[in-house]
Amino acid sequence: MPKWLKDAVFYEIYPQSFYDTNADGIGDFNGIIEKLDYIRGLGCNALWINPCFDSPFKDAGYDVRDYKKVAPRYGTNDDLVRLFDEAHKRDMHVLLDLVPGHTSEEHEWFCASQKAEKNEYSNRYVWTRSWGESAQGFPYVGGESERSGVYLLNFFKCQPALNYGFYRVDRPWQLPVDHPDCIATREAMKDVMRFWLDLGCDGYRVDMAASLVKNDDEKKSGTSAIWKDVRRMLDEEYPEAALVAEWGVPQQSLKAGFHMDFYLNWHLNGYSTLMRDYENHENGENHSYFKKDAGGDINRFLKDYLPQYLDTKEDGYFCLLTCNHDTNRPRLALDIPELKLAYAFLFTMPGVPYLYYGDEIGMRYLDLPTKEGGYSRTGSRTPMQWDESKNLGFSKGDAADLYLPVDPAPDAPTVSGQENDPDSLLNTVKALLALRHREKDLQADAEFSQLQTRIGQPFVYRRGDLVLAINPDGSEKTCTLPAAGEVIFSIGSAKAEGRTLTLGAQSFAVIR
């Protein structure tokens, strides 16, 4: 396990929307470099940058055309290396977004694989034997290639599936996972990983990490074997490089060699009940735990979270995030006081927390037409809002040229509008992250246990030797502490007298 993860806090950057330095309406690497001190000042000491490789951008860069070349709209390979270097000067780490399950249909591997004449890339992707043979239950495309056959897709039509083999082979065109051509695919991806690690990258967030081997068993044994092999390579050659999976099943991902997995926002899972419970009800009814007086129940979260945490806490970190590029921003359903409590919880739980750019100021989800395959996700990918100047400080270019429009509301939140307000969401985030860095008992691997979970009462939990309590309701509550202690941090009002803790409406406290 890389040692630096214990005290890491990640900041996720959607690069096209973060900061534009050349007035073309699209964010760039130089923009990220210019804002590193801001990110470090938040308390984030690590970055996750969404895909930045050369791409036709039919899926916002998740359709890679060249893994070893950055997209020109963000800059050059040298610019990305300079970003690594500048981050390292500030004791920050940088993860890139690796897309191993598929490429763009414009990737040179796929262009070669489409050819009728057999070549070294013919089996780099999954093909049937003839144009008239369907993929038998798998999504596929036919009729567009010189080669006689149809090819499998991993997600969108523009994303042909790379061939890591089939765990259960039941068609003549399916190759086993130990076929030399399937092993070659794995080794090619390891070569891509080495390329950027050698240039200063500190690891990878892995897109659709569970999608590699087809016809896999329920335990994802075939795919897990590949990641165990990758982990062996990292341990031997890059022991401080980190891997985080987009998987959402830590019992599989962490045991397969990943250092971290995300608690993804899936329908009716525990995470979805905290801030986005409206997605769980057809009528939009919202009983999110952090929604004031909404009747939320922390046990809905704990019932799902605790077994996963307990099963895997010795294997790696099951991580909580405020949002990501695929998820509605939490501001869609929560106001600023509610967000403060939600973040207090997320930033004081086990694992490594992830803060999505703009969530620290409460950026809104906007209802927008799709952009680069974003569809409903597009509204969470809008430009960062820095100040009250042109385009809210994101770009000096014309508004018509922006990657996406900025929030048009007259009260659109900005960094400059909050940085001098001690009670702002921005400064609350800074205070919470400073607390996490200061207190080892709030960092990734300190023990967690629940102490008080009754509905209508504060949620009380322990991290190491610290006791924490949250009251999301609109009225004052009291609870009994396991021992007398002192309040060392609070949001709202909190008073400890002996073993009695009194929490004002919508309050949070940390007791030593």
- Token code pair at residue 397: 């270019």
Separation of alpha carbons 73 and 153, rounded Å: 27
What does DSSP assign to residue 214?
Answer: B
Residue where a domain terminates, one of 415, 440, 465: 440
Separation of alpha carbons 466 and 447, rounded Å: 10
pLDDT (0 to 100) of residue 332: 98
pLDDT in tens, 252-289: 999 999 999 999 999 999 999 999 999 999 898 999 99
pLDDT (0 to 100) of residue 242: 98
Answer whether residue 301 is part of any domain: yes
Is residue 123 located within the same domain as residue 87? no
Is residue 332 located within the same domain as residue 454? no
Answer whether residue 196 is part of any domain: no
Is residue 338 located within the same domain as residue 477? no
Q: Which of 12, 63, 202, 246 is catalytic?
A: 246
Is residue 282 located within the same domain as residue 336? yes
Is residue 80 located within the same domain as residue 124? no
Which domain does 283 fall in, by range? 3-99+263-440
The amino acid present at 186, given as its one-letter code, is R
* Collapsed DSSP state (helix, strand, coil) of residue 98: strand
Separation of alpha carbons 12 and 360, rounded Å: 11
Question: Mean pLDDT in the chain?
Answer: 98
**CA 260, chain centre distance (Å):** 11
Answer whether residue 400 is part of any domain: yes
Is residue 422 located within the same domain as residue 467? no
User: Taking each helix axis from N to C terminus, what angle separates 180-199 and 77-89, rounded to the nearest 10 degrees?
Assistant: 60
Residue where a domain terminates, one of 115, 139, 163: 163
pLDDT (0 to 100) of residue 461: 98
pLDDT (0 to 100) of residue 481: 96
pLDDT in tens, 163-177: 999 999 999 999 999
pLDDT in tens, 401-419: 999 999 999 999 999 999 9
Q: Would you call 207 a catalytic residue per the annotation?
A: yes
Is residue 282 located within the same domain as residue 389? yes
Is residue 376 located within the same domain as residue 482? no
Is residue 331 located within the same domain as residue 268? yes
Answer whether residue 15 is part of any domain: yes
Residue where a domain terminates, one of 163, 181, 202: 163
Cα within 13 Å of Cα(361), Cβ side = 23
pTM over 0.95: yes
pLDDT (0 to 100) of residue 128: 98
Is residue 15 located within the same domain as residue 74? yes
Answer whether residue 212 is part of any domain: no
Place of tokens 């999505």: 356
Q: Which of 12, 28, 207, 407 is catalytic?
A: 207
198-to-84, 193, 194, 364 alpha-carbon distances in Å = 11, 9, 6, 38
Answer whether residue 194 is part of any domain: no
**For the chain, which residues score pLDDT lower than 50?**
none
Give the CATH number for residue 302.
Answer: 3.20.20.80
Q: Would you call 105 a catalytic residue per the annotation?
A: no
Answer whether residue 218 is part of any domain: no
Is residue 270 located within the same domain as residue 383? yes
Give the CATH number for residue 495.
Answer: 2.60.40.1180
Q: Report how many domains make up the chain.
A: 3
Is residue 336 located within the same domain as residue 465? no
Answer whether residue 230 is part of any domain: no
